[in-house]
Amino acid sequence: MQVFTDPAGLSGPDRRRVLVPTMGALHDGHLALVRRAREAAGPAGELAVSIFVNPIQFDRPGDLAAYPRPLEDDLERCREAGVDLVFAPPADAMYLPDRSIHVHETSLSRTLCGATRPGHFDGVCTVVLKLFNLLRPVAAVFGEKDYQQLAIIRRLVRDLDVPVEILAVPTVREDDGLAMSSRNQRLSPEQRGDAPRIHRALAAAVSLRPTHPAPADLLAAVRADIESPLNRVDYLELVDPETLQPVVSPDNPDRPALLASAVFYGEVRLIDNQLLPPA
Ligand code: PAF
């Protein structure tokens, strides 16, 4: 496995390269992305993982400082998973002090995480475009847990004619249903025990939707199931899965809808979502 920290050391791929962009602290959810990438690259292709805690997508300095960075463990997991190339640059190698250009998304980022984390998706789009330019993959793999991120990156490659195929992998969960996330390790044992209620409540909405056709009623029922003395709901929204715009009353039960939430446990913010099929 080759490890690069300096962008200048990278060379264009001489075989089919598939990239898994990550911020490290790799868990089984990332490994599902890595397996999908290997499948897409083929045995003769090149499987690349980037590990970079991207400072410009953090809106809270405390969250950036507390983000786990177990680089040696991550490299070991990559080796075991058969990764061919890791790109793990330091922040100052990616961003010059006088940089003045970034990507700005103006529609899909207005709701959900984008509404409560100003600038977050511009930071994600900017770094993903830079990673695509530096590593020149033919395809890149993202998780459906970050549904809005996935939708925005699909829009990024469509609108800017970026020749990278975007592949999606369903959310990987712990045995109790909690969506895997690098942030889970920052939960206290009590918070960790409480957090699976997020997925339980979102999943229950699939059967609640037919009896709660008004979005406000459905959202109130789900919110009541998510809330506990240990958490604070940042947002809970029912949106169109393509436009990410809120589903307004009366709900059209013939259309799928996406139920998405972000929930704080102390300083730790967890996201999850559930696609609701047409009723
Ligand atoms: O999903 C993530 O881990 C990050 O947002 C990404 C795509 C690696 C960009 O920093």
215 CA distance to ligand 1 middle (Å): 30
Within a domain: 26? yes
The pLDDT of residue 251 is 61
- Most distant CA pair in the chain, distance: 58
Atom 2 of ligand 1, residue of closest alpha carbon: 22
Domain range enclosing 87: 2-169
Is 6 exposed, middle or buried (CB count within 10 Å of its CB: 0-12, 13-18, 19+)? exposed
Within a domain: 176? no
21 CA distance to ligand 1 middle (Å): 6
Q: Which residues line ligand 1 (CB under 6 A)?
A: 21-23, 54, 57, 124, 127-128, 146, 149
For the chain, 279 residues long, give each residue's pLDDT as a single digit of tens.
Answer: 999 999 999 988 899 999 999 999 999 999 999 999 999 999 999 999 999 999 999 998 999 999 999 999 999 999 999 999 999 999 999 999 999 999 999 999 999 999 989 999 999 999 999 999 999 999 999 999 999 999 999 999 999 999 999 999 999 999 999 999 999 999 999 999 999 999 999 999 999 988 998 999 999 999 999 999 999 999 999 999 999 999 976 666 678 999 999 999 999 999 999 999 986
Are 31 and 149 contained in the same domain?
yes
Nearest ligand 1 atom, CA 182: 3
The pLDDT of residue 180 is 97
Give the number of domains in the chain.
2
53 CA distance to ligand 1 middle (Å): 8
Task: CATH number of the domain at 146, please.
Answer: 3.40.50.620
113 CA distance to ligand 1 middle (Å): 14
Are 158 and 210 contained in the same domain?
no
Instruction: Say what angle helices 215-226 and 197-208 make with each other, to 10 degrees.
Output: 150
Atom 5 of ligand 1, residue of closest alpha carbon: 124
| Ligand 1 mutation pick, 64, 94, 124, 273, max ligand atoms within 8 A of CB | 124
Instruction: Supply the residues annotated as catalytic.
Output: 30
| CA–CA gap between residue 5 and residue 124 (Å, rounded) | 20
The pLDDT of residue 11 is 87
Atom 8 of ligand 1, residue of closest alpha carbon: 22
Q: Are 237 and 223 in contact (CB under 8 A)?
A: no
Within a domain: 207? yes
- DSSP type of residue 179: B
Q: Are 237 and 222 in contact (CB under 8 A)?
A: no
Within a domain: 174? no
Nearest ligand 1 atom, CA 153: 7
Are 83 and 110 contained in the same domain?
yes
Residue 10 corresponds to which tokens in the numbers above? 């990278």
Q: What is the DSSP string of 25-81?
A: ---HHHHHHHHHHHHHH-TTSEEEEEE---GGG-S-HHHHHHS---HHHHHHHHHHT
Are 85 and 137 contained in the same domain?
yes
The pLDDT of residue 129 is 98
